[in-house]
Amino acid sequence: MDILAVTAEVFPLIKTGGLADVTGSLPKALKKFGVRVKTLIPGYRAVMRALPSARLVKTYDDLFGVQARLLAAQAAGLDLLILDAPEFFDRPGGPYLNEYGEEHHDNWKRFAAFSKAASEVGGSGVKEWKPCLIHAHDWHSALTLAYLKYGEHFEVPRVLTVHNLAFQGQFPARHFPRLGLPAQSYSEALEYYGELGYLKAGLIAADKITVVSPTYAREIMSPEGGMGLDGVMNARHDDVIGIVNGIDLEVWDPSCDPHLNYPFSARTPLRRLGNRYDLLDRFGLPHRHGPVFASVNRLTWQKGMDLLADVADEFFWKDGMLVVHGQGDPHIEGKFLEAAERYPQHVSVKIGYDESLAHLIHAGADAMLVPSRFEPCGLTQLYALRYGCIPIVARTGGLSETIIDANDAAVHAQAATGIQFLPIDHQGLRHALRRAVKLYRRHRTWERLRRQAMKTDCSWERSAEQYCEIYSRLLNENAELRQTA
């Protein structure tokens, strides 16, 4: 089975968050089920620099008014197609924001052009290759499915994965005539509270919608979790499926991680200590006893990072330490920097984005804090499990179903892998930290928890099979329709 995946990010070429991790690892897992994936990405500056020998497949004289090329390359075990449209993608900043942290002014056009090209590649194929199904991710590529549904290739099966409903791709309605979609698509799919909704259009145009955990699939049906799209989600209820993310067990393998001076496994926990000292040195903290708590995260309201900054005194009183690595909301960054100044022996913060440091933090810290207010799936807690760094998570979305809380029964049954907390507020988080410190002081219990965490199966195996089932069912339905037509 050949499919086209369409995404604005893919690890290791371009990443701002978990979307890249998923699109970078799922194709490798699908291979085992006989699914061959080509992944189409925009040719951002970083991508073009990383793939200097990409081959020319096709040229465009006028793609939304600009010249473009479709290129092909192999990298990191992935089969890639790249839309090289320098006017849209060769610029400073990240995929969505410019170097000053503002949205690129023409995002509506950049991602419409990308999606239009994706729909043509998906519908007609390129050279001798033609996919039998299109799988788009998030709002950036959601319009691909609308271009297919309202174009000549309406019969190609379409899957949309929503990684986070908070990001919807909403733009002024005045751009509609420039999208090149028929008038009826506006009222049927694109119109969203008087504006254009790219994600909403994708939700309407998809045959099947997946979200990244079964709990999130339930949460988004309610007004609180649906973020304005709960009506659409309820209308599509029967076609919405929650599939929990897996992780790339090769990229995140503590026993041979090139980012670590002290690789370790569940059987060599003492070697892990070397990473603790490396970590404390990197963050300028003393080599003291006591739990090292960590957070590697976007510093945003969604992630509950303001809550964490507000309870920094806990680490001082309980003789623990906190290391934080992330970037995001300047107000939250400021709160952490203030806390580090107030408790220099206990709290240390590095603002920024550093993949290698993220690996060391998972390997060296005792516990990973993920106090998200909502979390579609979350990957940090999965990496933490694999690295024996006990996850302390808010009970929401994917966090609630990937971590087993260390209540007495679960500890006794040797099933516990972390700590969950509710309510998701200051008190809830403080209480969770205190529970963690108590558990940490019971060394044997903590070690058992760590061993159990490291045993957790975070692979893609089961989830890749679920994606494969969705693809197969859609292809069968499609074949039946054609026979009866």
- What type of residue is 70? L
Residue ranges binding ligand ADP (CB under 6 A): 17-18, 21, 296-298, 325-327, 353-355, 358, 378-380
Angstrom distance (rounded) from CA 191 to CA 48: 34
Per CB under 6 A, 140 contacts ligand GLC: no
Residue 325 contact partner, candidates ligand ADP, ligand GLC, none, CB within 5 to 8 A by sort of partner: ligand ADP
Q: Which does 212 bind (CB under 5 to 8 A by kind): ligand GLC, ligand ADP, none?
A: ligand GLC
Quote the least distance from Cβ 384 to ligand ADP, whole Å.
Answer: 10
Q: What does residue 314 show for φ and ψ, rounded to 5 degrees?
A: -55, -35
| Cα(112)–Cα(142) distance, integer angstroms | 9
Angle between helices 198-205 and 107-124 (to 10 degrees): 20
> Which option in ligand GLC, ligand ADP, none does residue 209 bind, with CB closer than 5 to 8 A by kind?
none
Q: Which residue has the tokens 């799936």?
A: 377
Residues 44-73: x/- map of binding to ligand GLC (CB under 6 A)?
A: ------------------------------
Q: What's the closest the beta carbon of residue 1 comes to ligand GLC, in angstroms?
A: 22
Which one of ligand GLC, ligand ADP, none is in contact with 246 (Cβ closer than 5 to 8 A by kind)? none
- Of the pair 166, 183, the CB lying nearest ligand ADP is at 166
Instruction: Please identify, using beta-carbon distances, which residue of 339 and 399 lies nearer to ligand GLC.
Output: 399
Q: Rounded to the nearest whole angstrom, what is the least distance from the CB of residue 297 to ligand ADP in the complex?
A: 5
Answer with the entry of ligand GLC, ligand ADP, none that 469 interacts with (C-beta below 5 to 8 A by kind): none
Nearest to 387 by CA among 474, 328, 478, 454: 454
Q: In this structure, are strands 78-84 and 367-370 parallel, antiparallel, or unpaired?
A: unpaired
CA–CA distance, 419 with 367 (Å, rounded to integer): 10
Q: Which of residues 320 and 378 has its CB atom nearest to ligand ADP in the complex? A: 378
User: Which residue, 68 or 394, is less far from ligand ADP as judged by CB?
Assistant: 394
Could you say which of ligand GLC, ligand ADP, none residue 380 binds, taking C-beta under 5 to 8 angstroms by partner kind?
ligand ADP
In the complex, the smallest distance separating the C-beta of residue 164 from ligand ADP, rounded to whole angstroms, is: 6
Burial of 13 (0-12, 13-18, 19+ CB in 10 A): buried
Instruction: Give the shortest CB-21-to-ligand GLC separation in angstroms.
Output: 7
Closer residue to ligand GLC, CB minimum distance, 39 or 245: 245
Our finding on whether 375 is near ligand GLC (CB under 6 A) is: yes
CA distance 17 to 1: 28
Residue 225 or 376: which CB sits closer to ligand GLC? 376
Choose the stretch contacting ligand GLC; rule: CB under 6 A; options: 16-24, 53-61, 112-120, 139-147: 16-24
**Strand duo 133-137 + 2-6: pairing:** parallel
Q: How far is CA 21 from the centre of its chain?
A: 6
Of these, 10, 13, 18, 362, which contacts ligand GLC (CB under 6 A)?
Answer: 18
Residues 233-272, mask of contacts with ligand GLC (x by CB under 6 A): ------------x---------------------------
The region that residue 64 occupies, defined by phi over 0 for left and psi between -120 and 50 for alpha, beta otherwise, is: left
Residue 327 contacts which entry, ligand ADP, ligand GLC, none (Cβ below 5-8 A, type-dependent): ligand ADP
Q: Are strands 55-63 and 66-75 parallel, antiparallel or unpaired?
A: antiparallel
Distance (Å, whole) CA 445 – CA 448: 5
Q: Which two tokens stand for residue 147?
A: 């271009």
Tell me how crowded residue 422 is: count the other CB atoms within 10 A of its CB. Answer: 12
Q: Which is nearer to ligand GLC, 22 or 360 (CB)?
A: 22
Cβ proximity to ligand ADP, 153 vs 373, nearer residue: 373
Nearer Cβ to ligand GLC, position 185 or 380? 380
If contact means CB under 5 to 8 A according to the sort of partner, which of ligand ADP, ligand GLC, none does residue 326 touch? ligand ADP
Residue number of the CB closest to ligand GLC reads 18
**Which two three-digit tokens encode residue 235?**
């209308």
Among 17, 172, 182, 423, binds ligand GLC (CB under 6 A): 17
Task: State which residue, 152 or 461, has the beta carbon closest to ligand GLC.
Answer: 461
User: Which CB sits closer to ligand ADP, 358 or 411?
Assistant: 358
Select the residue whose beta carbon is closest to ligand ADP and give its number. 18
Q: Report whether 394 contacts 422 (CB < 8 A).
A: yes
Closest CA to 63 of 125, 145, 118: 118
If you write DSSP's letter for every residue of 133-166 in order, what string do you get? EEEEEHHHHHHHHHHHHTSTTTTS-EEEEES-TT
Tell me which residue of 358, 385, 355, 362 sits closest to 266, measured CA to CA. 385
Q: Please, which residue, 21 or 84, has the CB nearer to ligand GLC?
A: 21
**Six-digit token pair at 49?**
């620099």
Question: What b/e readout covers 159-192, taking b as 16+ CB neighbours within 10 angstroms?
Answer: bbbbbbbebbbbbeeeebeebebeeebbeebbbb
Q: Which stretch binds ligand GLC (CB under 6 A): 28-36, 54-62, 96-104, 373-381?
A: 373-381
- Given the rule CB under 6 A, which residues bind ligand GLC? 17-19, 22, 163-164, 212, 245, 375-379, 398
